[in-house]
Amino acid sequence: MSSIDDIRQGRLAKLKLLRDKNIEVFPIVSNQDYTNAEAVENFSKLVASEKPISLVGRVFSLRPQGAIVFFTFDDGTQSFQGFIKKDEGMSAADFDLWSEVVDVGDFVEVAGNFFETKRGEKTINVVTWRMLSKSLRPLPEKWHGLQDVEERFRKRYLDVIASPEVKKRFVIRSKLISEIRRFLDKENFLEVETPVLQAVAGGASALPFVTHHNALDIDMYLRIAPELFLKELLIAGYPKVYEIGRLFRNEGIDVTHNPEFTTIEFYESFAEAKKHRLFIEKLLRSVIKKVLDAEVVNFDGQQIDFSKKFQVISFYELLTRFALIPNPESISFEELKLRAEQLGVRVEAGDLTHKILDNIYKKTCRPKLIQPTFIIDYPTIFSPLAKHKEGTTEFIDRFQLVVGGYELVNAFSELNDPLEQRSRFELQEKNRSAGDAEAQPHDEEYIEAMEYGMPPAGGVGMSIDRLCMILTDTKNIREVILFPTMRPKNN
């Protein structure tokens, strides 16, 4: 079997041959009368056409049989079959040149008339052809594709070429984002943009990426959330705002986490968490129906039904039911550490009670929640930006949505009392001093904005990547991110 270098050298020789004949190998203009999909759709009408039709695409197979060649080519919309016969339609010189220089992977332009083979295959009888782009490396073998998973992610362009399933997955992702945008626009939300480069990394509990701005001589952060800026727009008088975009968190990489990921966050004045639970149900049902034309999704061997009313359960009830902690609201720190150890949950130095409870929940409770389930009644410490439930200071008016064992949505009624917000930020600073590296920073500019008056509001953040995983039945977040974060090969 020839090595990649041998194949490349052979193709370079073909490139030289074309150039020696003064043939432009990488022309600017392509003549395309129809896309391949349009050619298939209008085939019966085009068969009778006396005028030659030009199509373009990448060659995916070559089946030479003496003086004839069958081949397939794809322009990105659909595959189409080509037929060449020496001296009958195509000149001997053009046929010989094709046979000598065309390889699988090349982009070509072909012109001719349409016909249907005895097997009923729609085909173009090629009379003339041009090279549009000469490939110098061989494509992955059609049936086996890229066997190295790491290579699939590093060379996504080859992964998509080799796998129609992968290509379809990212089409679904694109449609998903478009439908979410269309739904929110119809509900009179305004799409906005907020800074990706921020002076204070607030709005979530996570480690940021740090960079340095030379002109200002200050450290800045890639945003971990757009939340605070979006809420400032509520203060500004926009009643409904949303942003779809990338967030960055300096955390580990696993099957549900990538350091760079995509979310949709939306905020609504004069709304609250309970209203947004109903809104999320409506949004997901609508979007999934539009994207998949279904309400039941197959994921990891389970059928997830989005047509039924979503379940609701409290955070402490989950811990009692699945982690067998009878009193999570009053358990002592030492008892909690012991229970975590029994459950195989690691406790790091500096972990506080809420962090341990959350880690226990993630290991023992969340994987059990397959059907869409809202989790409510979180302890106040879990979010310094959420409003208390009415009548208590112990719990916040927050919910998360878990589907297929994955957290999809985090949402709450937004805290709009600037004095309470200052107090919460001060507590976060204490937690940071006690060892909680993910505690949120004190943001004085945000508090100042709140002091001008912030309306009661609800806010929602949803993971685009994890929702796409569920809709495409994939179990690794890197399968739904076109270019996931990878360690450089030379490292």
pLDDT of residue 418: 96
pLDDT tens-digit readout, 419-452: 999 999 998 888 888 877 778 888 999 999 999 9
**For residue 309, is pLDDT > 60?**
yes
pLDDT band at 141 (very low <50, low <70, confident <90, very high): confident
Predicted local confidence at residue 349, as pLDDT = 84
Higher-confidence position of 489 and 87: 87
Q: Do residues 191 and 244 make contact, with C-beta atoms less than 8 angstroms apart?
A: yes
Task: Give the pLDDT of residue 428.
Answer: 87
Go through 155-184 and write b for each residue having 16 or more CB atoms within 10 A of its CB, e for each that does not.
ebebbbbbbeebeebbeebeebbebbbebb
State residue 71's pLDDT score: 98
Residues 398, 378 contacting (CB under 8 angstroms): yes
Q: Where in the chain is the domain with CATH 2.40.50.140?
A: 4-139
Rounded average pLDDT over 139-150: 70
CATH superfamily of 158-310+371-479: Bira Bifunctional Protein; Domain 2 (3.30.930.10)
Closest CA to 231 of 464, 463, 449, 451: 449
Give the residue range(s) of CATH 3.30.930.10 domains in the chain.
158-310+371-479
pLDDT on residue 49: 77
Identify the CA nearest to 376 among candidates 410, 335, 336, 344: 410
pLDDT value for 1: 56
Query: Packing angle between helix 273-292 and helix 164-186, nearest 10 degrees?
Result: 140
* pLDDT band, residue 143 (cuts 50/70/90): very low
Q: What is the pLDDT of residue 220?
A: 96
Please check the confidence at residue 250 and state whether its pLDDT lies above 80.
yes
Query: Could you report how far apart the first and last alpha carbons of the chain are, in Å?
Result: 30
Nearest-10 Cα torsion for 279, 282, 285, 286: -110
Q: What is the pLDDT confidence band of residue 146, given thresholds at 50, 70 and 90?
A: low
Inter-residue contact 244 to 177 (CB < 8 Å): yes
Arithmetic mean of pLDDT, 348-358 = 89
pLDDT at 142: 53
- Pairing status of strand 240-248 against strand 190-191: parallel
pLDDT at residue 144 in the model: 54
Which tens digit of pLDDT belongs to each residue from 26-41?
A: 999 999 999 999 999 9
Average pLDDT score over residue span 4-17: 96
> In this prediction, what percent of the chain has a pLDDT beyond 70?
98
pLDDT, one tens digit per residue, over 377-397 is 999 989 889 999 999 999 999
In CATH, the number for domain 4-139 is: 2.40.50.140
Question: Is residue 7 pLDDT above 60, yes or no?
Answer: yes
Q: What is the average pLDDT across 20-31? A: 97
49 versus 132: the higher-pLDDT residue is 132
| C-alpha to C-alpha distance for 58 and 108, rounded to whole angstroms | 6
- pTM, two decimals, is 0.92
Q: Is the pLDDT of residue 50 over 80?
A: no
pLDDT over 90 at 245, yes or no: yes
260: which strand partners?
Answer: 248
